[in-house]
């Protein structure tokens, strides 16, 4: 009988999961420079790559974030690993939570947001739900989520942290940079950050030139060199002067 009890005790012991909090973070100066550009600009500048699902949006349109991703996996309706991630993340990090795109759970609210603010974290992105949105708006901590839900969560399942995660249709690695604003979120690979900054500025300059041309009276067809393209596609506009170009 004693031997049987010992075996049962051994079998009931939980398996150990070893996680890390150590990974390479990007140059803070480059992160700051990237934050000057909109998510849409960065997405277009890097070849229309890196956009997370449009379903993930800020709880307030004024919220904006840009920082290195501190990634974590959570089971649906379970936020124990989210709390572990908050405890170990560094100032400026953005917590990126992959939780299986489960909308019916309020896994983050004003209490945990205050914990994040106290640590100087840069924001939260999650593919599950959040709650206490009025308090989150008043606090001003940037929160991007799949949904808003009042439904509570459990604290049962441990999982990976500071490893690549799938969220919003994109792989996000720890140390990659996430840029979020009213329009959505884009991820930039850590090793591509400098190039993304350079190309984003080039795009801003080009768009400024377009706007100046429009204000000077030039048509969008002329500025975008669309006349020959439209003719080749067979577009005919009756009773109109052909645009230049």
**Predicted confidence (pLDDT) per residue in 99-108, tens digit:** 999 999 999 9
Looking at residue 3, its pLDDT comes to 36
- The DSSP H or E segment spanning 115 is helix 110-119
For the chain (245 residues), the mean pLDDT of every run of 10, in chain order, is 37 75 96 98 98 98 98 98 98 98 98 98 98 98 98 96 98 98 98 98 97 96 94 88 61
Domains located in the chain, CATH noted: 20-199 (3.50.30.40)
- How far is C-alpha 190 from the geometric centre of its chain's CA atoms? 14
The model's pTM: 0.90
* C-alpha distances in Å from residue 50, one per residue of 30, 78, 123, 171, 176: 17, 27, 18, 9, 11
């Amino acid at each position: 009988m004693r031997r049987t009890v010992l075996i049962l005790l051994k079998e009931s012991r939980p398996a150990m999961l070893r996680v890390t909090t150590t990974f390479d973070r990007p140059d803070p100066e480059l992160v700051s420079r990237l934050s000057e550009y909109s998510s849409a600009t960065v997405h277009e500048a890097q070849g229309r790559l890196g956009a997370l699902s449009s379903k993930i949006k800020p709880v307030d349109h004024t919220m904006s974030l840009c920082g290195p991703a501190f990634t974590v996996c959570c089971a649906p309706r379970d936020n124990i690993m989210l709390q572990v991630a908050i405890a170990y993340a560094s100032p400026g990090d953005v917590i990126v939570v992959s939780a299986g795109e489960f909308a019916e759970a309020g896994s983050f609210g004003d209490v945990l947001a205050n914990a994040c603010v106290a640590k100087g974290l840069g924001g939260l992105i999650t593919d599950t739900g959040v709650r206490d949105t009025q308090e989150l708006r008043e606090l001003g901590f940037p929160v991007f989520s799949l949904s808003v839900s009042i439904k509570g969560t459990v604290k049962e399942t441990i999982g990976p942290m500071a490893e690549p995660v799938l969220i919003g249709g994109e792989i996000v690695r720890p140390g990659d940079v996430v840029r979020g604003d009213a329009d959505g979120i884009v991820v930039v690979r850590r090793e591509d950050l400098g190039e993304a900054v350079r190309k984003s500025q080039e795009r801003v300059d080009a768009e400024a030139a377009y706007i100046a041309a429009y204000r000077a009276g030039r048509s969008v067809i002329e500025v975008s060199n669309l006349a020959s393209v439209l003719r080749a596609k067979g577009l005919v506009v009756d009773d109109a002067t052909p645009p230049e170009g």
